[in-house]
């Protein structure tokens, strides 16, 4: 088991958003968080990464508690994070953005070459500033930078938002390749068709609480869950 969320609660100031969340993501598995806007999906991701402190409960990676660590230490434990909106260093080049990812866990050129092999378009644009890339290329770079830490756990918050179909397919292929390599992947995705085609299990969030995980096969047999939790 790679990522374990146990009775996790968090929020912003006095406003509690997550209430007693519990689920697990195994090595070589894609788990998708699904829920309406405001259900707590991004807050869950940020709490796992230590960007929002947990009020209660724990986050563990391979048995080590990371929820008590400062946020800058969490990626050093092998957790990659691709936030909504990408959050690139706009004025730095593609190469420099990747280098920042490599520095987190002192990774070398072999990892950089793996990432560029996964996203050949980035190799063509190494000297180009991040803010001059297309939206799809920026998403590739954000994904590539997260992969430069050679993660055992990867969190992706709406990675296909605003992308054209060809770019969505490239991101999907990259994510499934990482699953095949044994990475534990937690994905926030609004596009239900994308979820059903890629996820192994789904965790529904509603008002900061989670419904027990279901497999995609169970979800296809119970479409009423999508209506209840996502409104589709």
Instruction: Please report the sign of the dihedral spanned by the C-alpha atoms of residue 54, residue 56, residue 60, residue 66.
Output: positive
| pLDDT value of position 211 | 94
pTM value is 0.92
Q: Which residues contact 77 (CB under 8 A, 6 or more apart)?
A: 61, 64, 66, 69
197 vs 98: which has the higher pLDDT: 98
Residue 100 within a domain = no
Q: Given CA atoms 118, 166, 139, 172 in this order, what sign does their dihedral have?
A: negative
Assess if residue 143 is contained within a domain: no
Domain that holds residue 216: 3-89+152-229
How does the average pLDDT of the chain come out, rounded? 92
**Is the per-residue pLDDT at 59 higher than 80?**
yes
Query: From CA 161, how far away is CA 86, in angstroms rounded?
Result: 10
| Alpha carbons 149 and 100: distance in angstroms, whole number | 9
The CATH number of the domain holding residue 163 is 3.40.50.300
Report the residue count for the chain: 232
Q: What is the pLDDT of residues 123-165, one digit of tens each?
A: 999 999 999 999 889 999 999 999 999 999 999 999 888 888 8
Structure tokens at 88: 């690139």
Residue 70: inside a domain: yes
- For 108-128, b/e burial (b = at least 16 CB within 10 A) is eeebbeebbebbebbeebeee
* pLDDT value of residue 1: 56
* Total of domains in the chain: 1
Please compute, for residue 26, the number of CA atoms within 13 A of its CA located in the half-sphere on the CB side. 8
Asked, for residue 119, whether it belongs to a domain, the answer is no
Give the other-Cβ count within 10 Å of 197's Cβ.
Answer: 11
How many alpha carbons fall within 13 Å on the CB side of residue 53? Answer: 6
Hunting for tokens 């146990």 — which residue is that? 6
Residue at 8 is within a domain: yes
């Amino acid at each position: 088991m790679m990522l374990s969320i146990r009775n996790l609660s968090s929020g912003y100031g006095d406003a509690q958003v997550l209430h007693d969340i519990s689920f697990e993501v195994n090595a070589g598995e894609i788990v998708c968080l699904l829920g309406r806007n405001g259900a707590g999906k991004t807050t869950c991701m940020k709490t796992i990464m230590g960007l929002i402190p947990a009020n209660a409960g724990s986050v563990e990676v391979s048995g080590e508690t990371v929820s008590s660590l400062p946020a800058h230490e969490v990626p050093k434990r092998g957790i990659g994070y691709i936030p909504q909106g990408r959050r690139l260093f706009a004025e730095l080049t593609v190469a420099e953005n990747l280098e920042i990812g490599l520095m987190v866990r002192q990774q070398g050129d072999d990892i950089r070459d793996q990432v560029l092999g996964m996203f050949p378009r980035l190799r063509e644009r190494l000297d180009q500033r991040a803010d001059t890339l297309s939206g799809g290329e920026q998403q590739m770079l954000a994904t590539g930078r997260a992969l430069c830490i050679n993660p055992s756990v990867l969190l992706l918050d709406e990675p296909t938002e605003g992308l054209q179909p060809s770019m969505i397919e490239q991101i999907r292929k990259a994510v499934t390749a990482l699953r095949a390599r044994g990475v534990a992947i937690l994905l926030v995705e609004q596009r239900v068709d994308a979820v059903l085609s890629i996820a192994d299990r789904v965790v529904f969030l509603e008002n900061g609480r989670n419904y027990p995980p279901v497999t995609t096969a169970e979800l296809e047999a119970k479409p009423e869950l999508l209506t209840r939790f996502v409104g589709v």
